[in-house]
Amino acid sequence: MDKWLKRALELAVQNVEEGGHPFGAVLVKEDRIVAEGVNELHLKHDVSGHAELVAIRKAQEEWETTDLSDCVMYASGEPCPMCMTAIYFSNIPKVIYAQSVEEAMDVGLSAGGKVYKELTMPKEKRSIEMLRQKVESPELDAMKKFAEKE
């Protein structure tokens, strides 16, 4: 097993022993750990406290950039859709993980699998109601203002 993936799994096991969920993440650049994270839901009332997001935040804050395109994410579990979105947005080109979403679902951690399934459905069939109201006032059109700024 890859040493960095082994480290992510060690973090996950330690997190379970401390009362948390079984997720650890290690962000690596040029064969060096730049940030680590564990699922912090048991410590903070913050649903975004996932291991991958914790590691991404640490690296971005330290380097003062959102671009992590020269890093690899090692995760004990397959990243959920929220974490994958952050991985895409931070340009991380590779994720190596050990345990699948299906394995997480088998032990009662089903949110990630549910969201992956929901995202394949048309908006009108999802469990969260999505209602769009178009911008009517030009002074409230932030997208247009942004485009003009470029």
52 is catalytic: yes
The Cα–Cα gap between 114 and 96 comes to 21
- Token digits of residue 92: 């991380």
Beta strands in 6-93 (DSSP E): 24-29, 32-38, 72-77
Helix or strand holding residue 41 (H, E): none
Catalytic residue among 52, 61, 129, 139: 52
Which SS3 state, helix, strand or coil, does residue 133 take?
coil
Main-chain dihedrals φ then ψ at residue 77, nearest 5 degrees:
-125, 155
User: Could you give the residue numbers annotated as active site?
Assistant: 52
